[in-house]
Chains A and B, each alone.
Chain A
Amino acid sequence: MAYSSSWSRALVQISPYTFSAIGIAVAIGISVLGAAWGIYITGSSLIGAAIKAPRITSKNLISVIFCEAVAIYGVIVAIILQTKLESVPASQIYAAESLRAGYSIFASGLIVGFANLVCGLCVGIIGSSCALSDAQNSSLFVKILVIEIFGSALGLFGVIVGIIMSAQATWPTKAA
């Protein structure tokens, strides 16, 4: 084996456990960031608009619930991912199978985290516009809600792909 120093050598020498742990952290952390971002965007507009039009509060909590769902997706995927983490005998840590498992958990976490980030942002911005429009004209609420539903589907796509990705994370079980 050549002992040249190159980036590909460096990447391959990072433990798959590191990649997995970072993937799980990103899955939950960035999802919650997206959800919180969306909730404050919707919430501040909702509070201000509800002063003049108190009837909008109960209906527009749906926007907040859609944002919250994004955080729940992140929690579910993080729990699934961490059940996929197994211990591997020391000689097998840098085997190709282990690296593959580590990378797939990392990628799954990244997918879910960033899909939920943009989904939470999207639902939050639409929710803010929905609250302001509903305050002026209550027939607009249901129509804008349809847009929000399409927006929240984005997070769902991320979760589906992330779960499929992590389903193939099989660690090697015994010394080859």
Chain B
Amino acid sequence: MLPAGCSRRLVAELQDALDACAERQRQLERSLRVSRRLLRTWEPAETPAAAEPTPEPETDEEAPPPAGTPSPQDLRELELLTQALEKAVRVRKGVSKAGERHGALSLKSAAPSRAATASAPPRTSGQAGRQASETKPPRGVHQTTVPARGLPECRLPSVGDRTRMGRGASTTKPRPGLRDQQIPPLAAPRAPEAFTLKEKGSLLKLPMAYRKAASQNSRLWAQLSSPQTSDSKDAASMAKTQFLQKMKTTSGRPGSGLAAAEVEAEAGLLRKACSLMRQRMEEVLSADPADRMQEYHCLLTLEGLQAIAGQCLHRLQELRAAMAGQQLGPWPEGRCCRASVPCGGRTDPTWSPQLLLYSSPEELQSLSVLGLRVAMLDQQIHLQKVLMADLLPLVGAREPPGTPWLALCRAVHSLLCEGGERFLTVLRDEPAD
């Protein structure tokens, strides 16, 4: 049995590591559930009122329309429109080559505020129209966008022909323009086709409200993170510095000015220093000096590193003394301060998200697995150090001698030297009697 203090510390550390893994696993499983669901067939016509999507698709023809769907009169008009379009398509197919269509054919919507319109797939002439469509409801001839009235409409694609033609369009052009040749489900045949992301994913379109909000969001973040150079900013930062100074002087505290959080940060820096220095030392020691100049270089490097290590140790003693003194107050309770403001104001100026580009799922997989492995190694190294600090002295203390100590040795060896995966064997070499 291990002593109580040691037990508590080690179990707590291991438990922390386990909890962190569990939390990450939970998040992963949530994402997996969501993604799997999206890749399955989408159930059509879920009402917004329903909290959970019903498992069976609604076969009821008079399914209650989702909020925002068009009135019956609109639907009748749309049905007429649809029929007209179908006829036009048949005519056009016979007249022009497949895939060649002029903007004149595309129908202007009655008003963009109507629920949905069907429009012809744009061709190369649609390029210019597309730009306009991004910003506001277009009045151009070439295409009309579907305003975001009732999100469910976007999900259900049109029937048969149009879909195929849409698909034809997307194969001829690398970037299909308007792709929502969509008819609201209630105007379409009564049993709407099931929607799968695989077949019709490229037909999706984000609602306008969302697009506006998202672009405004990224614009605002960019503004917030851009460095300001105005006079008011300088005046403000001067005022802030003065305020901090005044706060310090009115407190009457003569203290060393070190906060526990700052000590922690410095400890982290020293840890990093140690590992960088060790790395350099390994490089020097493994290199074979070819001539005496290199030999001298190695010697000086090693002595220089030794000096720096000595300075770091000195700094560490100062930090320990400050911690032991009365100036600092309590260590933060629990881990509440982990996520709090980084002290000292080390700013991270760019808050806008970067893009991580990948070209194949395998690339993404190997990258993410590497990321996890690095995190795992970090954790293992931390645990290794903690275990070493607590367990090696126990073995060294060698009490009680005898079988329990041997068992301890064996267990400690396995934990510390083999990552807990393999065990050594101990044989007692009895002298032959």
A-B interaction:
no
